Chains A and B, each alone.
Chain A
């Protein structure tokens, strides 16, 4: 089948190219891992022996832990908010017919294409004009705006796959709208809701550009990282925390993706 698209030599060449690109993508991450265990104040060759001290150091760094906690809180609040708003909007977009549907959909998705610098300064000027002091709540507000479109893009295709007759049957059997949602719709879209939540969480946890304009005195993790990058003495410790965060996010994201595919296959919808 595929031999019309590609010759044997071409396949070998492309496979090699694929491997080279994957090496290019993973080598910097591997280098961080390597130097997070290196017993030296500067990340440079030759290697100076194995140590866990950088990991110890960051575990006892109060600023760093505070920043991780702040980011965790911001990410939880903003992802819950984004998934709730995204779910309401997705149900309307999939199940309702109304005028200005295209315009509403465009508005809801428009944060996808705004340069973050522009959105960041817009929020800064808005909070300034409205007299709202900058705090972690202002960061949450911004992150909800950023994540709503991602939630919609994840939820809409899943909702479209659900047979409306299932919902109508629940109504015929006397269930109200909330009970129908709880018993019929929610279980069917749960995998998509979870992946929307994860996307929103990781987006918020990693977001620097917008947060840098609206953050208050409590630094989020990316804000902390950015300022720590200016002090060479903190570099090894930052590398260690980088490794932990990267490995954790890789594990979470990959297992979520696998889980979603398994769940979707079981629900009878082609996940791939």
Chain B
């Protein structure tokens, strides 16, 4: 052990560069956002100093908090739907005894590895009033061209559909890992003791795969609650989310960097809290991303 420590480069030489990079380009930028949120830094020159006004306004703002809850609700629904879709798929791959499970797993995950924006684009093409789905229905006579199924695109439904589509393959991974490492002798024991398959599932398999479920849930919830790209492409006004509000405060004609910083930091705090509370489960889910 003592020898091993002496070998090669020193620890500071190894860690120095990566840690310095993240400190400079990750930690410091977040600190600057905090300074903006307290009005220590401002976009426009003029008298300013430390103030909690931005935070106070945020806490009392029904607009921003309303948007936040809307995003939380939307993300919770998406996460639940994604886990519900991914669990049976992962269960099939891990426990049905199929010989090609790794090939099938790759088939399942491959779409996740293609471009995110292009998968959103595909749904934009499909869902429009004159899009692929509606014109297919006109063409086959299933629906009159005067009455397309509207609300498909530019709606909250579109945002949820596209986000679920994007995350299903990824979430199957942690669930697959938790089911694959399950000791099937436990199921045999349950069966020997008279449990039906269904009660063995409820009392053995499901509890033991819970870490994978929680990891999968958070893997969807954390990125989607701050999502702004998908809603801006397919959400219209009813699919406008908290992340869009942050983006708009920084990019439109009337930038408000202080309020934007408050909104961003609040989101970061919520996500950091979730991560801290559930980090045990997250590690279980990180294993497959080797």
Asked if chains A and B come from one complex, the reply is yes
A153 to B288, CA, bound (A): 9
Q: Mark B93-115, 1 if CB is under 8 A from A, else 0.
A: 10111000010101110110111
Contacts of A113 in B (CB 8 A): 222, 271-272, 275, 282
Minimum CB–CB distance for A35 against chain B, Å: 7
Given A28-B119, A44-B131, A145-B21, A92 and B33 touching (CB < 8 A)?
no
A213 to B33, CA, bound (A): 14
Contact across chains for A125 and B247 when beta carbons are under 8 A apart? no
Contact across chains for B132 and A107 when beta carbons are under 8 A apart? no
A34 to B97, CA, bound (A): 35
Minimal Cβ-Cβ distance residue in A for B225:
A115
A21 to B18, CA, bound (A): 40
Contacts of B201 in A (CB 8 A): 5
Given A22-B108, A31-B122, A145-B21, A44 and B135 touching (CB < 8 A)?
yes
Contacts of A148 in B (CB 8 A): 18, 21-22
Binding site of B, secondary structure by majority: helix, strand, loop or mixed? helix
Residues 67-120 of B contacting A (Cβ, < 8 Å):
85, 88-89, 91-93, 95-97, 102, 104, 106-108, 110-111, 113-119
Which A residues are closer than 8 A to B by beta carbons?
1-2, 4-7, 10-11, 14-15, 17-18, 21-22, 24-26, 28-29, 31-32, 35, 42-46, 85-86, 88-89, 91-92, 95-98, 104, 107-108, 110-111, 113-119, 121-126, 129, 141-142, 144-145, 148, 150, 153-154, 157-158, 164, 167-168, 171, 177, 180-181, 192, 202, 205-206, 208-209, 212-213, 222, 225-226, 229, 235, 238-239, 242, 245-246, 249-250, 253-254, 257, 261, 272
Which B residues are closer than 8 A to A by beta carbons?
3-5, 7-9, 11, 14-15, 17-19, 21-23, 25-30, 32-33, 36, 41, 85, 88-89, 91-93, 95-97, 102, 104, 106-108, 110-111, 113-119, 121-126, 130-132, 135-136, 138-139, 165, 168-169, 184, 187-188, 190-191, 197, 200-201, 205, 222-223, 225-229, 233, 243, 246-247, 250-251, 257, 260-261, 264-265, 267-268, 271-272, 275, 282, 286, 289-290
